[in-house]
Structure 1
Amino acid sequence: MKKIKISFLFPLMSMILLIAALSQQLFSIPPMGKLLNPFSGAVRNGESKQKRNTIKLEEEGLKAAVNIYFDQRSVPHIYAKGSDDMYFAQGYITAQFRLWQMDFISDAAAGRLSEILGNRFLEYDRNQRRIGILSAAKASLKMIEKDSETLAALTAYTKGVNAYIKKLDYKNTPLEYKIMDYKPEEWSNLKTVLIMKNLTSTLTGYDDDLSMSGMMMALGEENFNKLYPSYFGPITPVMGEQKKVINPDLVFTKKPDYLNFGFMAAGTMVNPSTYNPKLGSNSWAVSGNKTKSGFPILCSDPHLNLSLPAIWMEMQLTCPGTNVYGVSIPGTPAVIIGFNEDIAWGITNGADDVKDWYKLKITNDYKKYEMDGKWKKLESSVVEIKRKNQPSFYDTIYRAPQGPVVYDKNFAGNQGGLKNSALKWELHRPSNEFSTFIKLNKAKRYSDYKNAIANFSSPIQNFTFACKDNTIAINHQGKLARREAAEGRFILDGTRSRLLQRGYIPVDSLPGLLNPSSNYVLSANQHPTGKDYPYYYSGYYSEIRANRIQQLLASHNDFDIKDMEAIQLDNVNKFSLDALPLLLNHVDLRSLNKEQLHKISTLHNWKGTYDFNDVNALLFEFWWKNIKEAAWEELKIFPFYTKAPDDYVLLNMIKNSPEGKYFYTPISGKRENITAIITGALIKAVTTYNGIKSTDNSKWGAYNKINVMHLSNIDAFSRMNISSSGHPEAVNAISKNWGPSWRMIVALGDRPKAYGIYPGGQSGNIGSPNYDDFLTDWTKGKYYELNFYMSQEEAQKNTNK
């Protein structure tokens, strides 16, 4: 995208603001005189294309000067004489590039949007306070303050951010502050912790306990396990091959004895969760036994919401004992995903269920709750929510032993069935994830890596590791609660103390793999174990990408960087490949006209590719969508139905039970055999496809549009309707508003060689040429060489050309 020319925007700014206000955007109209002032207003936020210069940072608070070199893509390479100064400089530069983004996210996480944007965000803020993100951040900060290394890093980072804030005047303040009419406030260590808690919330906030409780009661054990089994389709467990001994609790879910309609009588209507269970990632590592160079290669592409400013910021951090390159999260110190001279690491979401609801019995006055037949005092606290131009709102939050009561007599939210239920969420536990990344940044060997991740708590992540000594590993790391069978998959009975948490699975029993005989490890949000794992757990796992990655990694033994690029950009949906032969076999060709027969003939040769110019992908998508709608129409009668069974569940039913009870045509209302349903779904799909084809949008890329939205949802600051290849179940997992937020490939050796890209740009300033300058190349599948400098002299030489 070309640079947004701020000077051209503002003759029409009054109209833009009026339209925005009427469109329910995030802000109210600011003082127009200040905003349109040609000397200090929004027009001053434009940036030229002039190359950034080397900075010698000599701010108050530094022990020694820090040199910062910028390469051609405005990536800062920070060289300091000590770790405190390094993190100070990281905070300073991150604020210079991304101040509004990090400030806004921390405020949103804390439930403070009403304070800066007005009363319309009161319900949002109340929900944030009630689910406990702010209180959890405060508890974690107290824990962090006991760890001198982490506290020093956070404090130095905070000082760096504030050193930059102190230099700001209205003229140079980020545009979003001007539009929303508020000022940056002093940064704090708490804000940094809030950023990390916000990420934890994003990755672990999904739950379907209420919906699954209703479905278990409506379907009964046998049918529930057929439609919602813990394992479905082919699996590729994180920890590799499974043993022959099967844990029955992982295979068949029993209905808890207390779960009945009387127990759930307070409410059964369920709204879909606002969290996305598909947010995940790919990451894998291959040893030198499978590469041309003889050294390992590690690949990582975390799948998160696509947004502007970008989620990540690319940088190199160097001080004695540390020389690391990768991406950081604006607002937090250290590199989160990256590499140094010796190791590389990637991260994927563990996808475990760590969020539970306990249905309580509470007295009408909310003074007591029942536990084991006895009435006990219900704790409460009052929180102040400040509101812009209005008096503060005071909210009473009740707390049981399990956690906060989010929905009560005073706050209904959007989940009536969860009224008077307590939320137990691993996010609430004090934790120090920063320590893991600080240690990883300077790790040199496998033992350093294991020490770094040993105390990582939440969110549970799959850490993928490679070392230049040819060690590769993967670990499913975090606090995973010990549970009884089926515990946590349904609403829990809050009156029983035995259902309170009984501790965690021992760290040395968590799934992991070190130097397997296959010479590769991989994670793509699949099951961490097979059915033989001795501990019960549950989650929101997907096997399709993992199965495809395994297929590609097992295909040959001489990988190089280009091969790894091809895997990260692979657009094959393996489910489509598995489903297509079975579906084609069930089509009644006698019922098709000439055009429909032609479409079938083209699908016979389709390879399941969702490439930009593919003309079959869209037809298959329509076809499968129609089949699913017909199969699961009967489930929609249940008010608590929010999630269809997995696609492999349906595919297995087509294969093994073609006369199944759920197969009938919704139009006629008659029960049909699967051949009639599949054939009718195809005929309908061809009609829909022809309607799309008439608009020249039948190629997958023309139909498959993505939106990279500004955090404020202002369209003018976003990139919308971008044509793209990829599919949510392909390795190149691109959806409408989420996808690979950072693609990284690292070939280790005597000197690491790495490539990467993310959808955005280094700057958060919409008037900067670096605001979204990576985005077009990202959509085209291009990579940039990552300039990892082994010394300050090398950085100085290569950035001053």
Structure 2
Amino acid sequence: MKRINTHAIFPLLALFILILALSQQMFSVFPIGKVLNPFSGAVQNEDDRALDATALSLGNMGLSGQVDVYFDKRKVPHIFASSTDDLFFAQGYVTAALRLWQMDFLSYASAGRLSEIFKDGYVNYDRNQRRIGMLSAAKSSLALIEKDPETFRVVSAYTKGVNAYIKKLNYRTRPFEYKLLDYDPEPWTNLKTVLLMKYVANMLSGYEEDFNMSNLMLTLGEEKFNKLFPDYTDHTAPMMPAHRQLALQQAPHIRQPAYLDYSFFSSGTVVPKSDYNPQYGSNTWAVSGKKTKSGYPILCSDPHLALTLPSIWVEMQLSAPGINAYGISIPGTPALLIGFNQNVAWGISNGADDVKDWYKLKVTDDYTKYELDGKWQDLHYAIEEIKRRGEQTVKDTIYQTVFGPVVSDKHFSEWQPDRVNYALKWELHHPSNEFRTFIKLIRATNYTDYKEAISQYSCPSLNFVFASKDNDIAANHQGKLLIKQPGEGRFIYDANTVSELTAKYIPADSLPGVLNPACNFVFSANQRPASPDYPYYYNGYYRENRAQRIRDLLERDSAFDVKKMEAMQLDNTNNFALQALPIILAKLDKNKLSSDQQQLLSRLSTWKGTYNLDDVNARLFERWWKNIRDYTWDELKGYTFSTRVPDDYILMDLIEKEPDAVYFDKQGTSARENAGEIINAAFVAAVKEYKESPARWGDVNKVNVMHMTKLPAFSRPDLPSAGFPEAINAVSANWGPSWRMIVELGPKPVAYGIFAGGQSGSLGSRHYDEFVDDWNKGQYYPITFLLSAAEGKQVQSAYWKLK
């Protein structure tokens, strides 16, 4: 466990000074004297007394009644209140006590205010955040929330609780990061809470490929584009069974938009690497009691997000009249995003829909007009003030169209130079109230309550998976999805050809969903939510590999229990490798290999596709497949205007069905290669690379659980780990299963869970990262779900009384 202590403080400060001296630091003001002060500086952040207090009384908070907070041995707070106002006040207070700096910092980052903390280097980041509409979207959503009495009351109570904690702080007791960065915590606001939900929406819905796809359609033409980048393949495992009504009986042929030519869009544009991760997703599934040993349903959920310290999640139980729920929340937001109560359990995964579009504009030189459907319209603008630490405020003019903001213009092109004079249309911009869903979910008692809770959920689109002790199970793809024609949304739009501006959405009762299917299980792993015969066209960035593996494992067994579900969540098998390996082995000419190469091939041929810690075949397969991909798509990878190559399933099908396809002809050679020759050359090169570095998967698959400042001293880097991004245990270098939860419903829920971090955000706390090693080993903790406050007295390791 990594923690700051008095024995390490001086070497640690020396490390900070070295970092600051030798690198481009995040901050330029480092108050050494204050931080070194033994009475109020960093040493005081080792103090866990509050989390260890067996009887801490906190008064004068203006509560209507007493709130009891029982911390179990893992420092999970179990909050018992006599009213909902007091409950959410206490949730805000306790969360701030555990994670104040983290939630505050993320609110600054979301709003585009980092220049107020760091002296240099963040003005362009802040300008971009304002220009993509993060702050304005949060403000418009807050205005909507203020019209909903229940949500507004909950959010306001939460804010009051956070501020009650902030008021009790002094320099000695404030989180260490405030001391290091030398700034003061400011009062919490409802806007900050909304900004954190917009931060999540940005993370999950910010990815798009409009520029990539426009370039590729323009360069490849319709026929090749549809062959290499189709909406569907034969390898989908949709969340919703086949829809037998109207419509699209097969994947639609995507036509090149009439306006998309070289006069409209230059294919020579360099597309920069996106800051967004399209693999942020999750696994979540539920089985009915007909497939369990106990006869009760089991729900599993593991969201795949950034692995950070402090963790993105804080774990807790919330109890008040009509509420008794356990789960995880994002610090700075009320209620629980994933969790369970005595009657129901729910999990979520990223819907992965494309809800972000770009419109190319024709604007006047003075930015007063833009052309819309052949007519000149006023280009409205707003002036944003970006405050800078120790510097003059920057005033930034942001232009607005009917579609949305102009993110890059001739006055600000540094951040996205390829998108000058393009307007951004994004579902995130529309006012929404996501809190309503989760406030109602923690109260839900059955399927009807669940459906009502998710009915108005908007952005980002999510897959909700549900189970109740009544043995109902369900999965729903929820969010606002535009009605589109095939191909719409995949390419840049021409603002001058848009005549219909009124947004029409897929009706809520027609969104993909399933209730109590005949197979007795439901699942979501960021795959397509529906089959090609679904009556509405939609597009996005879906992943099919994990979904196929989950479906296969759920189909095989009819006697699940918690242990089997743990094994499923920790499954390290790459389903694609299982399918692809026999195909490429069949195309390989073994006679052209050396004895050394044949020996490695013999071992690989019996491999079961597992990316276990000690596996010695996974890395060889990865090198081999990467070379096959690079050799096949060498002409595409040479394009500066695109960062995309076809999906691996497309390549696998080409190898099997069209081994003589032109794509296998390697660039720069006189001969015309086929799939077999590419596969042979790729294997020979892979063996050479394989021998040059460690063979064991855990030696190359290192997980980095990083502090938000990226300082290694505050982080847990280079952890050898099992798993693979396309396995159910989707572990990557800096993201993965950020929370694993298994809940078996029944007379009393039986649940297990773990996240990659610790409950405390304090760098000096014993509870800062105490779960990380167990998480990495695939261990689970029994969840203590209390039915009453009286039970809290039996399990407490600390107790707070709020009055």
- The normalised TM-score by structure 1 is 0.98
CA distance in 2: counterparts of 1:71 and 1:688, whole angstroms: 49
Question: Is this contact kept in 2: 1:57–1:68, CA < 8 A?
Answer: no
Question: Is this contact kept in 2: 1:192–1:332, CA < 8 A?
Answer: yes
CA distance in 2: counterparts of 1:266 and 1:659, whole angstroms: 28
Q: 432-441 or 6-15: which moved more?
A: 6-15
SS at match of 1:300: strand
User: Shift of the alpha carbon at 1:22?
Assistant: 3.2
SS at match of 1:315: strand
SS at match of 2:703: strand
CA distance in 2: counterparts of 1:600 and 1:267, whole angstroms: 42
Aligned to 2:768: 771
CA distance in 1: counterparts of 2:245 and 2:423, whole angstroms: 39
User: Shift of the alpha carbon at 1:101?
Assistant: 0.1
SS at match of 1:119: coil
User: Shift of the alpha carbon at 1:511?
Assistant: 0.2
Aligned to 1:557: 558
How many residues are paired up?
A: 797
Aligned to 2:801: none
1:22-63: per-residue Cα shift (whole Å, max 9, x none)?
322422232221111111111111135873435454342211
Aligned to 1:583: 584
Structure 1 residue aligned with 2:704, among 700, 704, 707?
707
Correspondence 1:194-343 to 2 at 5 A: 194-243=195-244, 247=248, 250-265=251-266, 268-343=269-344
1:614-641: per-residue Cα shift (whole Å, max 9, x none)?
1100000000000000010011232211
CA distance in 2: counterparts of 1:244 and 1:670, whole angstroms: 50
Task: Check if 1:698 corresponds to 2:695.
Answer: yes
SS at match of 2:125: helix
Task: Check if 1:174 corresponds to 2:171.
Answer: no
Aligned to 2:8: 8
Structure 1 residue aligned with 2:780, among 762, 766, 783?
783
User: Shift of the alpha carbon at 1:656?
Assistant: 1.1
Aligned letter for 2:753?
Answer: G
CA distance in 1: counterparts of 2:396 and 2:765, whole angstroms: 41
Aligned letter for 1:524?
Answer: A
SS at match of 2:662: coil
User: Shift of the alpha carbon at 1:319?
Assistant: 0.4
Q: 749-758 or 263-272: which moved more?
A: 263-272
CA distance in 2: counterparts of 1:581 and 1:373, whole angstroms: 56
CA distance in 1: counterparts of 2:237 and 2:690, whole angstroms: 34
Give the direction of change, closer, same or farther, for the CA distance of 1:2–1:206 in structure 2 (3 Å limit): closer
SS at match of 1:17: helix
Correspondence 1:368-383 to 2 at 5 A: 368-383=369-384
SS at match of 2:122: helix
Task: Check if 1:753 corresponds to 2:754.
Answer: no
Aligned to 1:35: 35
Give the direction of change, closer, same or farther, for the CA distance of 1:48–1:89 in structure 2 (3 Å limit): closer
User: Shift of the alpha carbon at 1:780?
Assistant: 0.3
Aligned to 2:45: 45
Correspondence 1:380-391 to 2 at 5 A: 380-391=381-392
Aligned to 2:132: 131
Give the direction of change, closer, same or farther, for the CA distance of 1:577–1:56 in structure 2 (3 Å limit): same
Give the direction of change, closer, same or farther, for the CA distance of 1:371–1:516 in structure 2 (3 Å limit): same
In structure 1, stretches of 5+ residues that fail to align are none
CA distance in 2: counterparts of 1:482 and 1:246, whole angstroms: 14
User: Shift of the alpha carbon at 1:715?
Assistant: 1.1
Question: Is this contact kept in 2: 1:271–1:414, CA < 8 A?
Answer: no
User: Shift of the alpha carbon at 1:6?
Assistant: 4.2
1:391-426: per-residue Cα shift (whole Å, max 9, x none)?
100000001100000010111134333210100000
SS at match of 2:52: coil
* Identical-pair percentage: 55
SS at match of 1:404: coil
CA distance in 2: counterparts of 1:471 and 1:59, whole angstroms: 45
CA distance in 2: counterparts of 1:2 and 1:705, whole angstroms: 17
SS at match of 1:403: coil
CA distance in 2: counterparts of 1:231 and 1:59, whole angstroms: 60
Correspondence 1:28-177 to 2 at 5 A: 28-48=28-48, 51-177=52-178
User: Shift of the alpha carbon at 1:169?
Assistant: 0.5
1:734-759: per-residue Cα shift (whole Å, max 9, x none)?
11110001000000000000000000
CA distance in 1: counterparts of 2:593 and 2:765, whole angstroms: 56
User: Shift of the alpha carbon at 1:374?
Assistant: 1.1
SS at match of 2:172: helix
Q: 285-294 or 410-419: which moved more?
A: 410-419
Give the direction of change, closer, same or farther, for the CA distance of 1:249–1:432 in structure 2 (3 Å limit): farther
In structure 2, stretches of 5+ residues that fail to align are 799-803
Question: Is this contact kept in 1: 2:31–2:182, CA < 8 A?
Answer: yes
Q: 411-420 or 427-436: which moved more?
A: 411-420
Question: Is this contact kept in 2: 1:426–1:458, CA < 8 A?
Answer: yes
Q: 6-15 or 249-258: which moved more?
A: 6-15
CA distance in 1: counterparts of 2:267 and 2:579, whole angstroms: 43
Q: 8-17 or 543-552: which moved more?
A: 8-17
Aligned to 2:194: 193
- The normalised TM-score by structure 2 is 0.97
SS at match of 1:550: helix
Question: Is this contact kept in 2: 1:283–1:301, CA < 8 A?
Answer: yes
Aligned letter for 1:124?
Answer: Y
User: Shift of the alpha carbon at 1:498?
Assistant: 2.7
User: Shift of the alpha carbon at 1:199?
Assistant: 0.2
Q: 170-179 or 8-17: which moved more?
A: 8-17
User: Shift of the alpha carbon at 1:500?
Assistant: 3.3
Aligned to 2:493: 492
User: Shift of the alpha carbon at 1:13?
Assistant: 1.2
User: Shift of the alpha carbon at 1:792?
Assistant: 0.6
Question: Is this contact kept in 2: 1:291–1:560, CA < 8 A?
Answer: yes
Give the direction of change, closer, same or farther, for the CA distance of 1:11–1:657 in structure 2 (3 Å limit): closer
Q: 730-739 or 58-67: which moved more?
A: 58-67
Aligned to 2:475: 474
Aligned to 1:642: 643
Give the direction of change, closer, same or farther, for the CA distance of 1:2–1:300 in structure 2 (3 Å limit): same
CA distance in 2: counterparts of 1:244 and 1:152, whole angstroms: 43
SS at match of 2:405: strand
CA distance in 2: counterparts of 1:642 and 1:680, whole angstroms: 24
Question: Is this contact kept in 1: 2:2–2:714, CA < 8 A?
Answer: no
Aligned letter for 2:161?
Answer: G
Correspondence 1:627-666 to 2 at 5 A: 627-666=628-667
User: Shift of the alpha carbon at 1:232?
Assistant: 2.1
User: Shift of the alpha carbon at 1:669?
Assistant: 5.8
CA distance in 2: counterparts of 1:379 and 1:290, whole angstroms: 59
SS at match of 1:171: coil
User: Shift of the alpha carbon at 1:15?
Assistant: 4.6
Structure 1 residue aligned with 2:730, among 728, 733, 749?
733
Aligned to 1:442: 443
CA distance in 2: counterparts of 1:221 and 1:12, whole angstroms: 58
Q: 266-275 or 368-377: which moved more?
A: 266-275
User: Shift of the alpha carbon at 1:496?
Assistant: 2.7
User: Shift of the alpha carbon at 1:12?
Assistant: 5.0
